[in-house]
Every structure is written in structure tokens, then in C-alpha cells.
Amino acid sequence: MPRLRLLSQYLGWFALFALLLFGIVNIHAIWAKVSLWLGGHNEAHVQAEQVREAIPPDDRIVIPALDLDAPMRFPGSYLEEDLLKELQRGVAYLPGTALPGATGTSFITGHSSQLLWEAGAYKSIFATIGSLATGDDIIVYRNGNAYVYIVTKQEIVSPNDTHVLSSQPQEKQLALLTCWPIGTIAKRLIVYAELDEQRSVIQIVDDEALEPSEPPPTTLPQIR
């Protein structure tokens, strides 16, 4: 019995240490979750005039329900090193997928729990996208245009489940992608949204800007 009690104590201390270490390594993601919980879910929907007035000079993604506003980067290739470099500066479009505003699925990825010691100010930018509800707005600003998307569904897939990349619907669709659960690369969380053309603001029409410059990707990125 004394040995069992001692073993139980050791296991308890080990579990506490592991939990503490997990919290320290993923402090940015945990704080993002806590902040959203304290602030509540904003269900306001943007109007076309609000979208027009808010068009920024750079490419950005805005999610009012999460109070999320971040630069949107366009990597030169699908190589992991290129994606990680751009993810230090915001969220990243996945080269080879449909571009925002075009027919098909435009994939945008962001960190949910990048390691504490890694560079960048956006280590947990997508930590809270799992809290998005059907009907929430996502606004993508690109090249002076504003594309308003409405959240339709979520799914959690295996890293090897590449059908999500090869399936290109005829609708104009957006997909937010991040690793899941927080602190792991075990699965991928995808939030889908469809373009609301009535509230989108298209001021600059450039058909070439809607054509991907890379072939479609065949693997999901390994990004925390």
C-alpha cells in the first residue's frame, strides 16, 4: 500500500507538470479562448455600406464575431517553409486553391497554437475559429475589393483526408483551415463559408487576379 500511494503521488505530480507545461507552451491559444469567452460572441452582421467604408489599403481578413482582424499573406509557393514565413505576418492563402471571389474553394490557413518560442505575432490567430456559428460573417479584403462570406458549416478531418482540396464546388466558397485540437497537429479543423455577393463590394475587376498561379495542392499543411 505505501508503494501504491507513493506511485499515485508521483503520477499526480507528473500529470500536474504535464498540464502546466502544456499551458505554458500554448499560452497564446489559451488566452485567445479565454478572451473570446469573456468578451462573448458578437452576432452583428455587417452591411454593404459598412464594408465599403472599411476597405483597407492592404489585403486582410476580418471576422466580427471573433473580433479578429489580420493581414492576409500570399506565399510564393506551397512549400512549408514559405507558408511558415508568411504565417509570421498574418494568415496565409493556400497557393493553388481558388482565390477569394472566384468560383471554387479558397483556402486560408492560420496558426491555432504555434510554439511559444517561434517568431511571429499571429501564433494563435485561428485558435477560436471553432466558435464560429452558421450565419457568422467573414470578410476578405483583397486588391481593393471586399468579399463577404457567410459561415455554413465546420468539419474536422484527418491530415491525410485530401478530398477537401480536390473537391471544387461550383459555388464561391471560403475555407478557414487550422490544426486541431489546440496544441497538436493530429487533425484539421475547417470552417466553410459561402460568398454573399449582395453585400460584397467589387470595385476593381481583374479576371487574371482570380486565376491561381500554382497547381492545386495535394496535401494538407502541417502547421500548428
> pLDDT tens digit string along 19-73?
454 545 555 555 555 665 666 666 667 776 777 778 889 999 999 999 999 999 9
**158-202: pLDDT as tens digits:** 988 888 887 677 889 999 999 898 878 889 999 999 999 999 988
Return the pLDDT at 53: 77
Note the pLDDT of residue 170: 81
The domain 2-210 is placed in CATH, from the list 3.90.1150.10, 2.40.260.10, 3.40.1440.60, 3.60.21.10, at 2.40.260.10
How far apart are the C-alpha atoms of 85 and 119, rounded to whole Å?
9
Average pLDDT of the chain to the nearest whole number: 81
Cα–Cα distances in Å, from 80 out to 85, 87, 119, 165, 166?
Answer: 8, 10, 15, 16, 19
**pLDDT computed for residue 193 by the predictor:** 97
The distance between the two most distant Cα atoms of the chain, rounded to a whole number of Å, is 77
C-alpha cell at 43: 452576432
Q: Rounded CA gap, 176 and 152, in Å? A: 12
pLDDT tens-digit profile of 117-150? 676 788 889 999 999 999 999 999 999 999 999 9
Residue 12 has pLDDT above 60, yes or no: no
Q: Which residues lie below 8 Å from residue 75, measured CB to CB, with a gap of 6+?
A: 82, 83, 85, 86, 92, 93, 95
pLDDT in tens, 71-111: 999 998 888 889 889 999 999 999 989 999 999 999 999 98
Q: Give the pLDDT of residue 21.
A: 46
Is 18 a residue whose pLDDT tops 50? no
Strand ranges, E, within the chain: 60-63, 68-73, 91-93, 104-109, 137-142, 145-157, 172-180, 187-195
Q: Which 8-state DSSP code applies to residue 183?
A: T
Per DSSP, the residues of 131-156 read G--TT-EEEEEETTEEEEEEEEEEEE
C-alpha distances out from residue 135 to 53, 96, 119, 153, 159, Å: 22, 27, 34, 9, 27
For residues 100 and 176, what is the distance between their CA atoms, to the nearest angstrom?
12
